[in-house]
Structure 1
């Protein structure tokens, strides 16, 4: 049976992962300072991005995300293990993104991945110390513009 502290820790960690999704989906890069530790390592290489510290990750997101007309991070099925002031989790993410082609076409890119996270409680608050993406799939659908193949 889980203790009240373990239940609270799990809920706080789940909320932290939602705050990450919200920060990215609303393009509020500075909110990531509240999500990650100052010394965080973030590895997006499995899905074609870089690996680096928080500052370089924020710069990458700020540069690349305007290339997508719309996107959402849908997270679920978290397997969280808490051990005192540290924790780990494996969380499923479905990330649909709209990509505009140079010819005016619009394509739906579907990304499926897992976040492999390590957390630390810092001054009483949970933060992500390390995030590594593990790829499941990436699929780009045909033209999704009105009148296109998938309208």
Structure 2
């Protein structure tokens, strides 16, 4: 694999992680297939283990709270590409708020991802979300 390809892959995977956070914040569930693989597996404290794009999207839709918004801020992203697979990890701060008001709940997460190169580009095949801390404001 050339250095240029490796760099391009790392950038695309970093973008994928950022687009995942933005998808969650903007509640664009219909766009999930542009970020998540059809056979995605998500491990989260709220949903347990969810398998398949349809189940993950269904869970996200069901978890919406009227009037509540989130802002995910992702930091410390590390990406390790190995051919057509990649591992990534990041820290994330999630702020839960209502329009025009300070956050009422904040959490720190550790996230790990497995990505795969598909004919449509890189997609997340596994997402593991582990809470580090929470604070009610």
Q: How does the TM-score come out when normalised to structure 2?
A: 0.88
Q: Relative to structure 1, is the Cα distance of residues 68 and 139 closer, same or farther in structure 2, using a 3 angstrom cutoff? A: farther
Partners of 2:95 and 2:103 within 8 A in 1 = no
| Structure 1 outlier segments of 4+, above 3 Å | none
Residue in 2 that maps onto 1:130: 126
Give the Cα separation in 2 of the matches to 1:50 and 1:129.
Answer: 16
Q: 1:107, CA displacement in angstroms?
A: 6.1
Q: 1:4, CA displacement in angstroms?
A: 1.2
Q: 1:67, CA displacement in angstroms?
A: 4.6
Partners of 1:51 and 1:57 within 8 A in 2 = no
Instruction: Choose 48-57 or 122-131, whichever is displaced more.
Output: 48-57
State the aligned residue count. Answer: 132
Give the Cα separation in 1 of the matches to 2:130 and 2:109.
Answer: 6
Deviation track 1:60-115 (CA, whole Å, cap 9, x = no partner) reads 2112122562211111111110001000011111101027xxxxxx8611111111
Give the Cα separation in 2 of the matches to 1:60 and 1:50.
Answer: 11
Is there any run of 5+ residues in structure 2 with no aligned partner, and where? none
Deviation track 1:121-141 (CA, whole Å, cap 9, x = no partner) reads 001611000001122111111
Q: How does the TM-score come out when normalised to structure 1?
A: 0.80
Give the Cα separation in 1 of the matches to 2:67 and 2:54.
Answer: 21
Flag the structure with more relative contact order, 1 or 2, with Cα contacts below 8 A and sequence separation at least 6: 2
SS of 2:65's equivalent in the other structure is: helix
* CA radius of gyration, larger in: 1
Partners of 1:68 and 1:97 within 8 A in 2 = no
Instruction: Choose 3-12 or 50-59, whichever is displaced more.
Output: 50-59
